[in-house]
Every structure is written in C-alpha cells, then in structure tokens.
C-alpha cells in the first residue's frame, strides 16, 4: 500500500508549484517580478516571483547556494555593488529596483539583520540612536524613548537598561543579535529582512529570538532566510523553497512541510538532501 501510494504521488509531482499569499487582512506589501541576479556573467538567481503579505513571516529555505540569500539581499539592494539585479521589486506600488530610487531612504523602510551579529563599536545606546541622530533627531527625550521602545520590542531592554552606556561589543551573541534587531527597528521600517539570524546562536538564544520575531510581526513584515527547517515551520506563515537559483515551491508553511507538491521540496524537507 505504501509503495502504491508513493507511485501515485510521484506521477502527480510537479516541477514547480507557487501559490502566492492572498489572505484578507494581509495585503501584499512587497513583491518581485522576473527578478534575475548576476554575479559578473554568472547567473545566481534565474527568477524569483514572490509576493509577501504584510505582518506575516515568510521563510526562505533551501540548500546552500540555492540563491535564497542572494534573493533576500536584493530586496533592499544590498547587492548593488556586488551583483547585477534585473527585474522589478515592487514595494507599496513602487519599483525600488530602478536607478532613480533613493536607496538610503528605501533601506530605512526595508531593514536588515545579518547572519553574524554586527553591533557597532559604540555604546548600546549609540548603536540604536546614532542613525536617528544622523537623520536629524537630536532631542534627548525622543531618542531615549526610541531606544527604550526598540530595545523592548527586541526583548533586550530588561537585560541592558542599566548598561546603556557600555560598549555593545561586550554583549553575548544572542544579546548582540537582539541589539541588531533593535537597531534595525529603531529607524521604523515596514519590512525586516533577516539573513539566517540565528545560525551563530545557541539553542536557548535561538528560541528566544523566534519568540521575539513572533511578537514583532504585529508591527513588521518579516522575511527570514533560514537553514533550520524546524525554525521555518515554527514561526512562518509562508515558506518559499529555493533550489539551484530558482523558487521551486511557494505556499503556506503547513503545505510545504506536510504536503509538498514538488519532489525536490519533499526530499529537502524530509531531510533527504541539503
């Protein structure tokens, strides 16, 4: 019976299966159309057409070199000097992948947290406040308030509220990563891009980080690249599976993990490769 079942499944397997999110209350805030990324002559991303619903968490999964990080980094144009990105990235109806766009302004709307925590060699307070000061917020009380709310949202406030003037480099890995999240949300973005944010953290910090992300989605749209499939399953509403520079499957996370429509996805999520 099992064998029989497998055969029928194999015959119905598709090459590609994409279901864009379409839930009421979660309008599409960001989408890409016909996105291609080239490193020099080498094409790293052949096409990525994905839509992201606001205030949801979308996980990008796939084996190493599948193009998921490349895709993520294209979304706030962090690849500008490294790669050539063609196609459209629509953010609230505007194509942000065109020359006339103010990239710096755009990156404040689409923030990013990286794989390795990268706090600046400044005090905890200044890590958060200094980008705001650069943009003209000099009022001490306003800054204090942003620092406090950002740290609270990143669930770091209680641990550091007495040490705001200490160097951020003394924080532990998990705390430093929270600080980076606080720093990113302090400039009031809509969207948070996270590139394997937990891969350098221990399991306890990882699970705390996941709780934080679940809280944060009330305020932000979150797109997270992860190697950890349990993590994707635990926190995301939608999951995109990347392989060899293509999006092979995009659907609700429960569909991807319980009833994948593409053979490669099925192999990947069941741990047969990758």
The residue ranges that bind other proteins (CB under 8 A) are: 76, 78, 81, 104-108, 111-114, 116, 118-123, 130-131, 134-135, 165-167, 169-170, 180, 183-184, 187
Q: Closest distance between other proteins and the C-beta of residue 187, in Å? A: 6
Q: Closest distance between other proteins and the C-beta of residue 16, in Å? A: 31
Answer yes or no: are the C-beta atoms of 124 and 171 closer than 8 Å. Answer: yes
Q: Closest distance between other proteins and the C-beta of residue 236, in Å? A: 21
Identify which of residues 191 and 229 has a Cβ nearer to other proteins in the complex: 191
Identify which of residues 70 and 261 has a Cβ nearer to other proteins in the complex: 70
- Neighbour-count burial of 159, counting CB atoms closer than 10 A to its CB (0-12 exposed, 13-18 middle, 19+ buried): middle
Count CB atoms within 10 A of the CB of residue 204. 9
Identify which of residues 75 and 248 has a Cβ nearer to other proteins in the complex: 75
- Neighbour-count burial of 5, counting CB atoms closer than 10 A to its CB (0-12 exposed, 13-18 middle, 19+ buried): exposed
Q: Closest distance between other proteins and the C-beta of residue 17, in Å? A: 32
- Neighbour-count burial of 130, counting CB atoms closer than 10 A to its CB (0-12 exposed, 13-18 middle, 19+ buried): middle
Q: Give the integer Cα–Cα distance in Å for 197 and 184.
A: 13
Q: Closest distance between other proteins and the C-beta of residue 165, in Å? A: 7
Identify which of residues 97 and 253 has a Cβ nearer to other proteins in the complex: 97
Which tokens sit at 237? 């509403």
Answer yes or no: are the C-beta atoms of 124 and 168 closer than 8 Å. Answer: yes
Identify which of residues 49 and 190 has a Cβ nearer to other proteins in the complex: 190
Q: Give the integer Cα–Cα distance in Å for 112 and 75.
A: 10
């Amino acid at each position: 019976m099992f064998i029989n079942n497998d055969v029928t499944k194999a015959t119905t397997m598709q090459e590609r299966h994409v279901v864009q999110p379409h839930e009421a209350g979660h309008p599409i805030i960001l989408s890409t159309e016909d996105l291609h990324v080239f490193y020099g002559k080498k094409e790293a991303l052949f096409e990525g057409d994905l839509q992201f619903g606001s205030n949801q968490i979308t996980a990008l999964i796939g084996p190493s070199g599948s193009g998921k990080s490349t895709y993520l980094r294209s979304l706030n144009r962090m690849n500008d000097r490294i790669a050539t990105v063609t196609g459209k990235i629509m953010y609230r109806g505007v194509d942000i992948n065109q020359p006339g766009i103010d990239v710096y302004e755009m990156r404040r709307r689409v923030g990013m947290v990286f794989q390795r925590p990268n706090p600046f060699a400044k005090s905890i307070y200044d890590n958060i406040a200094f980008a705001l000061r650069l943009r003209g917020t000099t009022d001490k009380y306003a800054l204090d308030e942003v620092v406090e709310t950002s740290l609270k949202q990143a669930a770091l406030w209680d641990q550091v509220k007495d040490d705001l003037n200490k160097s951020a480099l003394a924080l532990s890995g998990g705390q430093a990563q929270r600080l980076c999240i606080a720093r990113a949300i302090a400039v009031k973005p809509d969207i948070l891009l996270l590139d394997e944010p937990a891969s350098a953290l221990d399991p306890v910090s990882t699970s705390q980080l996941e709780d934080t992300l679940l809280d944060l989605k009330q305020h932000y749209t979150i797109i997270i690249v992860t190697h950890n499939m349990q993590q994707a399953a635990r926190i995301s509403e939608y999951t995109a599976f990347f392989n060899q520079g293509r999006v092979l499957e995009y659907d609700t996370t429960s569909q991807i993990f319980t009833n994948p429509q593409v053979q490669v996805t099925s192999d990947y999520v069941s741990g047969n490769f990758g």
